[in-house]
Amino acid sequence: MERIGGYLVERKLGEGGMGTVFLARTRGGRAVALKVAKAELAADPVFRERFRSEVEAARAVGGFHTASVVDADVDGDPLWLATAYIPGPTLAARLAAQGAMDEPQLRALAAALAEALESIHSCGLVHRDLKPGNIVMADDGPRVLDFGIARAVESTRLTATGTAFGTPGFLAPEQALGHDVGGAADVFALGAVLVAAAGGSAWGEGTPMGLMYRSVHEPPDTSAVPAGLVDVVTACLAKDPAARPTPAELLDRLTGEPAGPARPDTPSYHPTLATAPPAPRPAPTPPAPST
């Protein structure tokens, strides 16, 4: 079997814009997802410098909803990045197998993704390619994969030809137009992911150019989204990045509880069971009438 960076490669998991992802193991048997950059990217000095800075930032991303970076080689040939391997189907595979999610499932997915983006953005990263294929439905909840490398790919001469990096159908308008992007682009993608998870498509079907055109110029199709979530999804899909909620604001709207310490006049926890009211005292027995 092939070894890369001391990791024993077992099989290929997938292929994307950056390169190839393998399932590999440490010498002690721990599984990792090993992402190996394409040779033509690794040969670009701009990519190498960006890759180094993005890996350094990605190491700081924690939280329950991402796959942590455990190792990387930013100087060698090939360039590679190892993250914890998260078993489970992707959201795309789960939707193909089980169909659309209901409102409670969509709310849980939205909250988990918002929390993941909050963690990623707090480290100065922007995912840039959030989509159902980059979300693993692990046993303990959704995990976001493939963050921390998109900016390196996006910045190279190979992608500086007017072609937007990312996946049409989930690209924010500013991304499709080749403008600078911030965290708001990930929130836009989150909105499109929720439409897909509800069984719809925010921008319909068709060619990549058609999808990008509609994302820039036309309103999204949210007809598949449950009524209780339409406003949240529509806000995420606003054309203007400044009009979209932040991940923290999304969590406030989804949970109904603002973050931060509890107010003095409210309990700091929510009891799981309501306390039963005290039983009423029995009424006193009236005295017997005198004869």
**pLDDT tens-digit map of 258-272:** 655 543 333 332 333
Element (H, E) at 113: helix 103-122
Q: In the block, which residue shows the tokens 């963690």? A: 119
Give the angle subtended at the CA of 238 by the CAs of 234 and 242, to the nearest 5°: 130
Active-site residue set: 129
Residues 6+ apart with CB under 8 A from 166: 128, 129, 150, 175, 189
Q: What is the pLDDT of residue 171?
A: 93
Q: What is the pLDDT of residue 50?
A: 84
8-255 CATH, one of 3.10.580.10, 1.10.510.10, 3.40.50.300, 1.10.3720.10: 1.10.510.10
Question: And the tokens for 202?
Answer: 């925010």
Q: What is the pLDDT of residue 138?
A: 93
Q: What is the pLDDT of residue 273?
A: 34
Residues in the chain, pLDDT under 50? 148, 155-163, 262-287, 289-291
Q: In the block, which residue shows the tokens 């963050």? A: 147
Q: pTM value?
A: 0.79
Question: And the tokens for 66?
Answer: 């991402």
Q: What is the pLDDT of residue 149?
A: 54
